[in-house]
Amino acid sequence: MMHLRTPSRLVTLAALAGLFAGSPAPADVLPDNRADLFYSKYSGGGMNINTYEASAHANATENIGLDYSYLVDKVSGASVDVLSNASVIKDERKQNSISATWIHDKTSYTLGYSNSKERDYISNTPHFSLSQDMFGDLTTITLGFSRSRDEVGENNGTANDPKVAWLGHAESRAYDVGISQILTRNLIAGVTFDVITDDGFLQNPYRSIRYYSSSGLGYTLGSQVYPDTRTSTAIEARLKYYLPYRAALTGIYRYYRDTWGIIGDTVEIDYTHPVRNKWIFEGRARYYKQGHANFYADIFPYFDAQNFEGRDKDLAASENLTIGAKATYAWLPDGWKVFKRSTVTADISQVRFKYLDFRDIKDYNDTPAGGEYAAGTEPLYHFNAMIYQLYLSAFF
Amino acid sequence: MTPKLRHALCASVVLLLSACGSVQPWVKPYERDRLADPVMAWDRDALSSAFLDHVYESREGSRGGTGAAGGGCGCN
């Protein structure tokens, strides 16, 4: 199935996960032992993805903690830009992640490794991070680094009879700096700065470009050619405020830009509201908008029109809006036997994707040139996705 | 960068760092009860956040900066 778009940054940012994983607790205390079972279903744009994950955190000593997680993605279907040039796929991805955290005085060090494997894509990522509390534990600074090496392939067979051709390697390095700051007794702030560099085979072999031609459709499909390097910079700022009654409001803004010419803005607002000590409800709205990559076009004027050519919809100008709600129920608030407490959480989100210069040739690719939709005038693509999550957490 | 500017910058950094040693926490530990409330956690569910970040990273041109682990599949 190939996950070229996210070359194993699966743990690139894990370095900072600890920084934002909990309340502004000092780094010199390990979190409780816990175990999680996670299920999610994504459905939209012709894709169905079921994800199953089991995860555990255990403290070996007072200052050494261990984490392990195992994840399986089961994918069926294919998105619009694949359907325009390939058959429906059915595939599976498995990911193992392990890490160890050592706390010494006000500093915590985390070393981890992750492996992600599917038929046509293998990724290995070691990562390291350190986190330092200072100024009376009002401030936490985190530095992270990870380096991944990916093997990129293409399945030229079928779902049941794969024939994978290995096309090349991609390497990724990520450097992260984060700061979390207590500002007042009701307000905390966080800033993350993140630079990622990629090098190697970065294009997605399952996507195609198209260019004007005298064929019956008015266009012909061709191969994408991407640059073999990419550097991206992202900065995110977040504020969380404890309201006059027991509830919290979060505001997040992220600015992104990269050497492919993509500039993106993300804004998110979350509201968290507990009811007695049994429930926590959360609502969120997220809006994202991006400009297209400088080598992207929905349709090129002629064959080989420029050095780099891409028509992956992820490179197109687009926007999306997410509305989500989450409910957490503490079904063992006072613990039971070895368990200190346990919670079950249900989460549902709808994402409306809208593309501003990517046209839907899947539904209209049988229209002859000069027909209802001539090449390059097809309707812009859009779709809605539903995301369901259900998970069980036990603390001991 | 001129030598004068470089010296001024070094002096500023030294002053800033020396100030750090005497910073007193303006929110005392006993005043952090609200911040310790679970509703004030940056991210109560790391698995869920990583999953959602992954969903977005797989379908958007942007990546990184979210302070949570993404992961894997762009899934055609």
Task: Establish if B26 belongs to a structural domain.
Answer: no
Task: Establish if B13 belongs to a structural domain.
Answer: no
- Across A322-356, b (16+ Cβ under 10 Å) vs e yields bebebebebeeeeeeeeeebbbbbebebebebbbe
B74 interfaces chain A, CB cutoff of 8 Å: yes
Under an 8 A CB cutoff, do A238 and B45 touch? no
Task: Using CB atoms, pick whichever of B68, B74, B76 lies closest to residue A6.
Answer: B74
A75-84: pLDDT as tens digits? 888 777 665 4
Residue B57: CA atoms inside 13 Å, Cβ hemisphere, count? 28
Total domains, chain B: 1
Q: Can you give the residue range of the structural domain that contains B60?
A: 43-76
Task: Establish if B28 belongs to a structural domain.
Answer: no
Indicate if the pLDDT at residue B75 is higher than 90. Answer: no
- Band (A194; pLDDT cuts 50, 70, 90): very high
A30-78: pLDDT as tens digits? 889 999 999 999 999 989 999 999 999 999 999 999 999 999 999 888 7
B26 interfaces chain A, CB cutoff of 8 Å: yes
Tell me the chain A residues in contact with residue B46 when contact means C-beta distances shorter than 8 Å. 17, 21
B75 interfaces chain A, CB cutoff of 8 Å: yes
B8-42: pLDDT as tens digits? 766 666 555 555 555 677 888 888 889 989 899 98
Task: Using CB atoms, pick whichever of B40, B46, B72 lies closest to residue A93.
Answer: B72
- Band (A367; pLDDT cuts 50, 70, 90): low
Share of chain B above pLDDT 70, in %: 59
Share of chain A above pLDDT 70, in %: 88
What angle in degrees, to the nearest 10, is found between the helix axes of B46-57 and A14-21?
130
Q: What is the pLDDT of residue A18?
A: 42
Query: What 3-state DSSP class applies to B31?
Result: helix
Under an 8 A CB cutoff, do B61 and A262 touch? yes
pTM of the model: 0.86
| Angle at A90 (CA atoms; ends A317, A362), nearest 5 degrees | 40
Domain extents for chain A? 14-395
d(CA A187, CA B38): 14
Q: Which fold has domain A14-395?
A: Porin (2.40.160)
- Band (A23; pLDDT cuts 50, 70, 90): very low
- Band (A9; pLDDT cuts 50, 70, 90): very low
Task: Using CB atoms, pick whichever of B41, B44, B67 lies closest to residue A16.
Answer: B67
A292-348: pLDDT as tens digits? 999 999 999 999 999 999 999 999 999 999 999 999 999 876 777 888 889 999 999
B37 interfaces chain A, CB cutoff of 8 Å: yes
Of A246-250, A354-358, A361-365, B46-50, minimum mean pLDDT range: A361-365
